Amino acid sequence: MTHPLNPAVLTVEAVSRAYGARRAVVEADLTLEAGQITCLLGPSGSGKSTLLRLIAGLEPVDAGVIRAGEEILSRPGQTVAPERRGTGLVFQDYALFPHLTVLDNVRFGLTALPRDEQRARAMAALERVGLADRARDWPHALSGGEQQRVALARSLVREPAAILLDEPFSGLDAHLKAGVRDDLTAALRAEGAAVLIVTHDAAEALMIADRLVLMDAGRVIQSGEPAECFERPASLAAARLLGEVNALPVAVGRGAAETPWGTAPAPGLADGPAWLLLRPQDLTVGAEGPEAAVTTCRFGGRFSEIGADLGGQALHLHTPGVGPRPGETVRVRADLARACIVAE
């Protein structure tokens, strides 16, 4: 279903939250749009789950404002209750009631409606997540992925404008995760709601997000489309959140920087120290380029992962097939077109 709402379903503006002297969220901005999956990515302790709790109304804000359209949901001294926010929340542990059937779990929040309508809406929600045939089962009889879909159905049954999920795939076995993730994201997209998924898994976020929001030390450090964030990180911290990256110190002058592979453009950066960022896939062993001493080599099937020392700088690169042995000297070729230079 599609919600007849302004595309900007929910906005977070300069929101902060502290616990004593510890600032968990600092002046965070975020927008959730209808029909879009936003992934909030960050390491443990970065503030991402706290921000989700603030959006859900489970905690008050110390500063800033959270709005649904023009309605204020949170500001200092005012917090609209979670059940009145028009949001659905799926917890990391799914939070199903073990003494209730799947059907009764899903219709739990519909007690104000007539019983027949409760059942009809709950069955419709279960149908949307592909579990209508398990309505009479108990939660313990379901797999982890099925329990997750029940939790999602319980959220969908109230037809929320925004759906919030906290680490929804972290408790799943690795061999099941991809299939469950695909099923869940398909169900979420079919709803047309604004979706926020909190995760610490960069690969997962890159695959499922329409928009990424990167957090570190309580702050939003970058947001945008996944490819944009990956290819053009705003900082070294943002680059590292999305996977391994080689960071080499360089000096910027007149909009460019000298690197071991030649001059690289640095548009918009002030003169001074900076970082040259290259992903391991952007470096390989070649016939040209500066010499480096191989320190490690791990065969990965189609390619080898190589650790190398380039004038005292540690590099990690990929090369096709079987790589050189530790102790050998190789030439390292870089794809400077894929390089990114950020300020220190």
Strand partners, 262: 259
Residue 281 within a domain? yes
What are the pLDDT digits (tens) for 167-181?
887 767 777 777 778
pLDDT greater than 70 at residue 20: yes
In a shared domain, residues 184 and 289: no
178 and 68 belong to one structural domain: yes
Provide DSSP, 145-190. HHHHHHHHHHHHTT--SEEEEESTTTTS-HHHHHHHHHHHHHHHHH
Residues 146 and 32 in one domain: yes
Return the higher-pLDDT residue of 140 and 1. Answer: 140
The CATH number covering residue 228 comes to 3.40.50.300
**196 pLDDT more than 90:** yes
Same-domain pairing of 250 and 178: no
Predicted local confidence at residue 4, as pLDDT: 40
Chain mean pLDDT for the chain: 91
Q: Which of these three, 189, 204, 235, is where a domain ends?
A: 235
124 and 227, same domain (yes or no): yes
Q: Kindly state whether residues 309 and 336 are assigned to the same domain.
A: yes
CB 186 within 8 A of CB 2: no
- The pLDDT tens digits of the residues spanning 244-258 come to 999 999 999 999 999
Q: What is the pLDDT of residues 65-98, one digit of tens each?
A: 999 988 999 999 999 999 889 898 888 777 889 9
Burial category of 136 from C-beta neighbours within 10 Å (exposed 0-12, middle 13-18, buried 19 and up) = exposed
Does some domain include residue 2? no
User: In this structure, are residues 24 and 36 in contact, taking their beta carbons and an 8 Å threshold?
Assistant: no
Residues 332, 205 share a domain: no
Give yes or no for residue 2 having a pLDDT over 60: no
Q: Examine residue 1 and state whether it is found in any structural domain, yes or no.
A: no
Q: Cα(289)–Cα(331) distance, rounded to whole angstroms? A: 5
Instruction: Identify whether residues 26 and 56 lie together within a single domain.
Output: yes
Number of Cβ within a 10 Å radius of residue 133: 10
pLDDT of residue 149: 85
* pLDDT value, residue 144: 82
> Locate tokens 């000297």: which residue?
329
**Region label for 18, one of left (φ > 0), alpha (ψ between -120 and 50) or beta (otherwise):** beta
> Among 209, 235, 261, where does a domain finish?
235
Query: What is the percent of the chain with per-residue pLDDT over 90, rounded to a whole number?
Result: 74
Whether 87 and 197 map to the same domain: the answer is yes
- Across the beta sheet with 303-310, what order do the strands follow? 313-320, 303-310, 283-299, 329-334
* Domain assignment present for 33: yes
Residue 219 belongs to some domain of the structure: yes
Q: Is 89 within the bounds of a domain? A: yes
- CATH code of the domain containing 297: 2.40.50.140
| Weakest-pLDDT range from 44-58, 175-189, 274-288 | 175-189
Q: How confident is the model at residue 7 (pLDDT cuts 50, 70, 90)?
A: low
In a domain, residue 103? The reply is yes
My answer on whether 86 and 122 are in the same domain is yes
Last residue of a domain, one of 194, 216, 235: 235
Domain region containing 80: 8-235
- Domain assignment present for residue 3? The answer is no
Residues 34 and 75 in one domain: yes
In this structure, the answer to whether residues 98 and 223 fall within a common structural domain is: yes
Structural domain count of the chain:
2
Q: pLDDT at position 112, please?
A: 84
- Asked if residue 5 has pLDDT above 50, the reply is no
- Tell me the per-residue pLDDT of 118-166, one tens digit each, with 9 for 90 and over: 999 999 989 988 899 999 999 999 988 888 889 888 988 888 889 999 9
pLDDT at 156: 86
Range ranked top by mean pLDDT from 3-7, 167-171, 221-225? 221-225
pLDDT at 191: 84
